[in-house]
Structure 1
Amino acid sequence: MDILLVLTILVVIFALAFDFINGFHDTANAIATSVSTRALSPRKAVLLAAIMNFVGALTFTGVAKTITKDIVDPFALSNGSVIILAALLAAITWNLITWYYGIPSSSSHALIGSIAGAAISAAGFAILNYEGFLKILQALLISPFIALAVGFLMMSLFKVLFKNASLYKTNKRFRIFQIGTAALQAFTHGTNDAQKAMGIITMALIAANLQTTTDIPLWVRIAAATAMGLGTSVGGYKIIKTVGGKIMKIRPVNGAAADLSSAMIIFGATTIALPVSTTHVISSAIMGVGSAQRVKGVKWGVARKIVITWIITLPISALLAALFYQLLNLIF
């Protein structure tokens, strides 16, 4: 069998593995608040998230096209299949490490940093599409701050609207409302995060001369959506524990405010075809909600550890990808 075809098949397998891991790693963030407030049992929340992720993943392709063409030009890649495979191996490695320790790091940062690191290792810094790459970095960096602000404003609004309401009745109603916000959260996660593996597979098809455009094939969309749905069904209870309880004590009204805020930011990014970190956005929205409730109620020590992981993910994944590329280049 032709070595290029073998590499392409390996890329497809590892890209779907990345989506599967992303499913149980990042989707845990989307349902963490609804589980922690007991609006949904973990089993029902995971099932709901799996279905909504699958639907969301099939609905959009803009983010996938951005991943395909805006970090590096797939038509200009020499040894492109090895570069992409190295990037996937690095991103998967970092995702598994952070999942094992229950740290809600960003799969988006890991993948984007890995693509850049592997490409630079292969062809130097000139290979990067700086305009597109910087646009993606801006979206990744700015979106958590927007989520923090929107979460603060959303919770402030809820406090005004329900200040005279019975706390018991309000929480009971919001617990029911949270089922809808959890579904919305999982749907928006699918519209953005599942796109990343689709973009990677399309890059590999172009690098192997099996495709001449950046359009996302239907089979790629279905395969990536299925992988993410299956990954979600496995669940990520370690991440749920961190996001759903260690940042702040979450009540149903807080969970609903955080879910609505983060879903707005993620879906807004999807509509303008920009990848964002669902982990960053959801965690930041919870911090914003907690700050509006009571600044001292936010466990800033845990939040600081999460932020540190955000910062180090991109450079570490880039370095891992560079090392993986050099190793794979020796083999192939």
Structure 2
Amino acid sequence: MNFWTAVGELGGWPLVFLIVALFVAFAFEFINGFHDTANAVTTVIYTRTLPATPAVLYSGLMNFTGALVTVLFGGAAVAFSIVNLLPVDLLIRADSNAALVMVLALLLAGVVWNLGTWYKGLPVSSSHTLIGSILGVGVANSLWNNEGLAGVNWAKAGEVGLGLLLSPLCGFLAAGALLLVMRRVLREPTLYEPPRDGDRPPAWVRVVLIFTCGGVSFAHGSNDGQKGMGLLLLVLIGFMPVHYALTVNKPETASSVCAAIGNVRAIYAKHGISLPEQLDKDLKFVADRLAGRESLTELAKLEERDEAGALVNVRWEVRQALQRTNRELKRVGTGRTGPDEFRKEVEVVRKTAIAPVIEFVPVWVVVCTALALGTGTCIGYKRIVVTVAEKIGKSHLTYGQGAAAEGVAAVTILAADFVHLPVSTTQVLSSGVAGTMAANGSGVQRATCQKIVLAWALTLPACMLLAGLLFVAGRLIVG
């Protein structure tokens, strides 16, 4: 079954809702481009390193490149940290109306909050916005079904929340410290003084600032681009769960999955370690269903009855078994139990043959998300740029402050990619600018900083509440 066949099988209102959901999801990423990436071009514009138009075009290109290159060649772990906030089987357990409402509610909540804060010129976090919206619909759905707070993966939410909490603090302290080091090492007075009318930075400073602007834009594309891809995956899984249960990029991997299952059993036997009962059961289930098959697409139309006698789709059940297998092997591979060699061998099999089958991003989603993010960067950036450059500190941004804030932001965001955590470009860079203002003795504008911090603090609960209310309203309308 290909994508167009799966879409054709929806028909009627579900097809209309899918088109609307995809449009709103790409709109969110487009808005993310001009809402968040304005931070990246602030320094090059306000230090007169580049005129505004070339700056935003350059930043847009680097955002597109970051989103495209990182996922195609480095994987999409950050995207799945977003997907796994809302257990995708929740979408499947829900009736079709509930799944549609959940997806549309979280999308609309994110777009409304991002547009509202952009209009007010507040550099809030699109990451907070997206995560709050996901948590909101998860909680609302579980409360609607009298299941308490079970609709959210709270362990994953804690990991994500920790990254979002610590990253602005790191940005503030590291950018301030870097500026102090620069003042000791680079004793060029013009680096630390606001540029006068008509002044432009020395050639070598311009190169540095252009490089740091590109670095932040690339890092933003790599991290926030994956968040957008995670959002698109929630839409696709919600509307077409069977089609997107297993990888559509390399469906011919059925035989290699069977080989990987044999390798897992061999590794456990080699080290004299017994297979856990559930893992043994899942490995056998997958091996039996894939035996003699060359392509994962062969499972699309197969159905069978589960232990309770209910009719289930085999392709989805294989995904669930592989999901549990991946989770167990990751626990073993990254844990502290068992010999080092055993853990390493398990982790290699998991990363190369098991995880890619269930943690994948369709190529068209990668390209379209990168395009939406890059295009959005080139539009509507001015409101956020003015706030960051003119209203955080009491004086004009200096060359040294711009380089320190952007350099720290780029490194922080790329480091977050490495440890698979979504962080906020807005928070890291805005905090970095504030840190350099404090370190430079320039002072900060208390009123503006209070508004920004208040917006940061309100984003998560406000988006949770907005998404939850939209979900409830949608359920009342569609039943």
- Normalising by the smaller structure, the TM-score range is over 0.9
Q: What's the counterpart of residue 216 of structure 2?
A: 185
Q: What's the counterpart of residue 253 of structure 1?
A: 400
CA distance in 2, matches of 1:38, 1:235: 19
Q: Which amino acid aligns with 1:317?
A: C
1:15-26 correspondence to structure 2 within 5 Å: 15-26=25-36
CA distance in 2, matches of 1:44, 1:103: 24
1:22-171 correspondence to structure 2 within 5 Å: 22-58=32-68, 59-60=70-71, 61-69=76-84, 71-77=85-91, 78=94, 79-124=98-143, 125-163=149-187, 165-167=188-190, 171=201
CA distance in 2, matches of 1:146, 1:326: 38
- Higher gyration radius (CA): 2
CA distance in 2, matches of 1:4, 1:14: 15
Moved over 6 A (4+): none
| TM-score, normalised with respect to structure 2 | 0.66
CA distance in 2, matches of 1:169, 1:318: 42
Instruction: Give yes or no for the alignment of 1:277 onto 2:407.
Output: no
Query: CA offset at residue 287 of structure 1?
Result: 1.1
Residues 218, 293 of structure 1: alpha-carbon distance in 2 compared, 3 angstrom cutoff: same
1:168-218 deviations in Å (ceiling 9; x for gaps): 799523233211111111110101112112101112222231311331111
Q: Which runs of 5+ in 2 are unaligned?
A: 1-10, 144-148, 194-200, 246-357
Q: Which runs of 5+ in 1 are unaligned?
A: none
Q: What is the aligned length?
A: 329
Q: What's the counterpart of residue 174 of structure 1?
A: 205
Q: Is the 8 A contact 1:175 1:253 kept in 2?
A: no
- Partner-residue secondary structure (3-state), 1:276: coil
| TM-score, normalised with respect to structure 1 | 0.95
Q: Is the 8 A contact 1:67 1:199 kept in 2?
A: yes
Q: What's the counterpart of residue 203 of structure 1?
A: 234
Query: CA offset at residue 94 of structure 1?
Result: 0.5
Query: CA offset at residue 29 of structure 1?
Result: 1.0
Q: Is the 8 A contact 2:103 2:238 kept in 1?
A: no
Q: Is the 8 A contact 2:125 2:426 kept in 1?
A: yes
1:267-326 deviations in Å (ceiling 9; x for gaps): 1111211111111111011111111111x5222321121111100011111111011112
Q: Is the 8 A contact 1:291 1:297 kept in 2?
A: yes
What value does the CA root-mean-square deviation take over the aligned residues? 1.7
Q: What's the counterpart of residue 236 of structure 1?
A: 381
Residues 292, 169 of structure 1: alpha-carbon distance in 2 compared, 3 angstrom cutoff: closer
- Partner-residue secondary structure (3-state), 1:76: helix
Q: Is the 8 A contact 2:225 2:373 kept in 1?
A: yes
Query: CA offset at residue 166 of structure 1?
Result: 5.0
Q: What's the counterpart of residue 267 of structure 1?
A: 414
CA distance in 1, matches of 2:175, 2:191: 22
